[in-house]
Amino acid sequence: METIKTIDSTKQKLSSTDIWSLALNRELQERGVKYDKAQYTQSYTGLLSEMSQPNAIVKQVGNSLFLAQIQDDFAHFRVVNMDVGKNLVKNGIEFFEFMLDKGVTKFGLTYKLGAFTSIVSQIYKDWPKKHSDIEMGYTLYEVEGGQEEGFIQFWSKST
């Protein structure tokens, strides 16, 4: 079976359905699991349920899907990504800009160990290039089960 690779969104834009499908199949492949229609259907049904919650926002940027559950000025989010790394950084910045416009300033995330650490770090480095008036801070830490959790916050820069 051919390895499922990320697709540069500047060359080919995927639909949200294609992003989810490819990402799920890639995850199954990485775990050494052959395509399993029941597992695929269960995961896809879970995604649809998550997306239909009244406080849910789904934002596609490039070949990345950002799924967020919002409560006041806080959002717990996850990323389903099929874009290349350099674009994921740009996509992440655009997602945070979108959420800040909605009044969300605090973010929590849980992800596979090591999967998002370098991306958050690069977003942190690139953020001031576009936003001299808004500061960004983050904390990432390892939790049980091969997962990491993180907290990201934005605030107005004091003059």
CATH code of the domain covering residue 37: 3.40.630.30
Closest residue by Cα to residue 58 from 22, 98, 18: 98
Question: What pLDDT score was predicted for residue 113?
Answer: 66
Residue 133 falls inside a structural domain = yes
Between 27 and 15, the more confident residue is: 15
The DSSP-derived string for 37-70 is HHHHHHHHHHHHHHHTSTTEEEEEETTEEEEEEE
Alpha-carbon distance 88 to 20, whole Å? 15
Residue 80 falls inside a structural domain = yes
Residue 10 falls inside a structural domain = no
Backbone angles phi, psi at 23, to 5 degrees: -65, -40
Between 28 and 5, the more confident residue is: 5
Question: Which tens digit of pLDDT belongs to each residue from 51-71?
Answer: 788 899 999 999 999 999 999
Residue 105 falls inside a structural domain = yes
Asked if the model's pLDDT at residue 159 lies above 60, the reply is: no
Residue 38 falls inside a structural domain = yes
Question: Which tens digit of pLDDT belongs to each residue from 95-131?
Answer: 999 999 999 999 999 887 667 788 899 999 999 999 9
Alpha-carbon distance 140 to 127, whole Å? 17
Residue 150 falls inside a structural domain = yes
Average pLDDT, stretch 147-155?
92
End-to-end CA distance of the chain: 56
Residue 115 falls inside a structural domain = yes
Question: What pLDDT score was predicted for residue 116?
Answer: 77
**Count of structural domains, the chain:** 1
Residue 11 falls inside a structural domain = no
Range of the domain at 97: 16-156
Single pTM value for the model: 0.88
Question: What pLDDT score was predicted for residue 47?
Answer: 75
Amino acid in position 8: D
Closest residue by Cα to residue 88 from 113, 59, 120, 110: 120
